[in-house]
Structure 1
Amino acid sequence: MTVTRRRFLATAAAGIALPGRLWSGSRIESGSLRLDTLSDGHLVLPADFLFGGMPKDELAPILARHGIAGGSVEPPCNVTLLRDGTNTVLFDVGAGADFMPTAGRLSEALAALDVTPDEVTDVLFTHGHPDHLWGLLDEFDEPLFAGARHVMGRVEFDYWMDPETASSIGEARATFAAGARRRLEIIADSIGLVEDGDEVLPGVVARLTPGHTPGHLAFRIEADEPMLIAGDAVTNAHVGFERPEWLSPSDQDAALAATTRAALLAEAAEEGLLLVGFHLPDGGIGRVGRAAAGFRFLLA
């Protein structure tokens, strides 16, 4: 197995006089499998969205060690592309054009690898938050990956399709609910719904990892070295690793998310899994090491 990190220039579309954009990502090659993480851009979030309510005296040195200062954070967004010679699989579809101006760059990243939307055979969703789901549709409100099979956990799908979610999720996330339902309604008749433990594709197994959202899924990939597509079960490489038991406002059920996160990191450390995280740094691919208290993220 080899892991490489690269930076490459994506040229502007033909006929448009714009400079190219510099992209970065990581690649794992394991036997016939090739896994790429693609930059969808990044988010800009208030620091309190991640750290609100955490003990400030203990939080401050963790943030300082990771160079985090000020009132905002800018987590990267890593969409995962898996190719095995037969299937071309996306895990999540990024934010699209309607969420944040700093995100929604997946189409450009795919183009830099010479992959077209028509080549994608499967789209597997970890959950229904905007930065993972809102890239589902093109500018005409048609599915961008029209020929692909779309798959989501049944618990997650039912949650976002429930009309009561918009009124119960809280004012700050009400637009999340409306946006998710609008998009999922368009593919509701064709989406595949899976349960915990289902083999979604050969060697790709869905894992229920709830808390960040009610039906959040991770996906375990059996390869020469097993990999875990963690989605937002672990949302950062600093506090989430060093103090996974701390509650974060970014999670919809913070207590359940903390339990899930701690168990997932312990499993990854014990088994030596390669962890692929949507918001983890440097392409999001690494391993989990144990620390004196908690864990640490180790680049692969």
Structure 2
Amino acid sequence: MNIDRRRLLTGMAGTALLGLPKPTLAATTASIGDFQVDSVSDGNLVLPGAMFFEGRPVAEVDKILAPLNMSKTQVEPPCNVTLVRHEGRVILFDAGSGDGFMPTAGTLVDSLDAIGIAPDDVTHVVFTHGHPDHLWGVLDDFDDPVFTEAEHMIGQVEWDYWTDPNTVNTIGDTRASFAVGAARRLDAVADRMTFFKDGAEVLPGIMAHATFGHTPGHMSFEVRSGSDALLIGGDAIGNHHIAFARPKWASGSDQDPDLAAITRARLLDMLSHDKTPLLGFHLPDGGIGRVEKRGDEYQFVSEEIQ
């Protein structure tokens, strides 16, 4: 797999602390047979470390984070949106945050422009799930659809969950705005939405895999050309630290932490055994790498530029 990384300066180093984007990767490009896969930046999130580390053994957390030079108080995961070009199709997996979620995110349209893609070039938008950093970018700041020429596609389970009027009452106070925002945006693009189920070939060479837990209907996608493949993992493996070192630990970032942990452990075992590359939405260096098993732990190893 050939990798090329291009950097786009979306702000000055360190300005994320001031609520501004920091320098991010515009794109990381890989070839999977006759598929061209680009990881394009939507900026980054700024999250409290407690979401990942609270209640965990301090010594174990310190041991995991020390080699990564990470803070326990604040984490700033990148947002890597996948763009696939194949047989005339221009396919986005997720739509980023838009301008309504966090000031450090929402750079997708600029990153696409940096690689010569305009919103109306996109033929399909395929969603892993309905969280704000994956869905809210479907509408612009005038509440008009961004990807005007695209068919939008989402798993049936995920659609049913976010469009259920009762979800806002059951999701919990901290995520109630997620439910309101998702319902509004999905309603706005309902007339261009189609649905799929686990195991479906959503587009030629692209298969949906149910990876439930992070959300009730979260989907990942296998891009395959002959013996060459890559898994677009969304948030099923949501970070490169705790998720790899202690995949069975429940995470506050998941809506069903126990189910998500089972899913995560299964995926890591499969990816390490099959040596299939992973493109993760919140993984570093453009999100493309391999999963290596080391004893009872796993490690994310970014693909080298070739």
TM score, norm. by length of structure 2 = 0.92
Alpha-carbon offset, residue 133 of structure 1:
0.3
> How many Å separate the matches in 2 of 1:148 and 1:177?
24
Matches within 5 A, 1:80-229: 80-223=82-225, 224-229=227-232
Alpha-carbon offset, residue 22 of structure 1:
6.2
Identity of counterpart residues, as a percentage?
50
1:17-54 Cα deviation digits (max 9, x unpaired): xxxx7644311023321111011000000111122232
Counterpart residue type for residue 131 of structure 2: H
CA contact (8 A) 1:242 1:291 kept: no
Q: Which moved more, 1:156-165 or 1:184-193?
A: 184-193
> How many Å separate the matches in 1 of 2:24 and 2:283?
19
Counterpart residue type for residue 80 of structure 2: N
> How many Å separate the matches in 2 of 1:64 and 1:293?
18
Alignment partner, residue 48 of structure 2: 46
Structure 1 gaps of 5+ residues are 12-20
Alignment partner, residue 274 of structure 2: 271
> How many Å separate the matches in 2 of 1:22 and 1:246?
29
Alignment partner, residue 245 of structure 2: 242
Counterpart residue type for residue 34 of structure 2: S
CA contact (8 A) 2:25 2:285 kept: no
CA contact (8 A) 2:5 2:25 kept: no
Alpha-carbon offset, residue 9 of structure 1:
5.6
> How many Å separate the matches in 2 of 1:59 and 1:75?
17
Counterpart residue type for residue 289 of structure 1: E
Alignment partner, residue 30 of structure 2: 28
CA contact (8 A) 2:52 2:242 kept: no
1:100-140 Cα deviation digits (max 9, x unpaired): 00000000001101101111000000000000000010122
Alignment partner, residue 18 of structure 1: none
Cα distance, 1:9–1:74 mapped onto 2, change above 3 Å = closer
> How many Å separate the matches in 1 of 2:257 and 2:207?
25
CA contact (8 A) 1:54 1:247 kept: no
Structure 2 gaps of 5+ residues are 12-22
CA contact (8 A) 2:25 2:286 kept: no
Alpha-carbon offset, residue 292 of structure 1:
1.4
> How many Å separate the matches in 2 of 1:9 and 1:173?
31
- Secondary structure of 1:89's match? strand
Alignment partner, residue 16 of structure 2: none
Cα distance, 1:87–1:10 mapped onto 2, change above 3 Å = farther
Alignment partner, residue 284 of structure 1: 287
> How many Å separate the matches in 1 of 2:43 and 2:91?
20
Alignment partner, residue 4 of structure 1: 4
Aligned length: 291
1:59 aligns with 2:29: no
CA contact (8 A) 2:78 2:284 kept: yes
Counterpart residue type for residue 270 of structure 2: E
- Secondary structure of 1:222's match? strand
Alpha-carbon offset, residue 85 of structure 1:
3.6
The runs of at least 4 consecutive aligned structure 1 residues that moved more than 3 Å come to: 8-11, 21-24
CA contact (8 A) 1:209 1:233 kept: yes
1:217-266 Cα deviation digits (max 9, x unpaired): 00001125210000000011111011100111000000000000000011
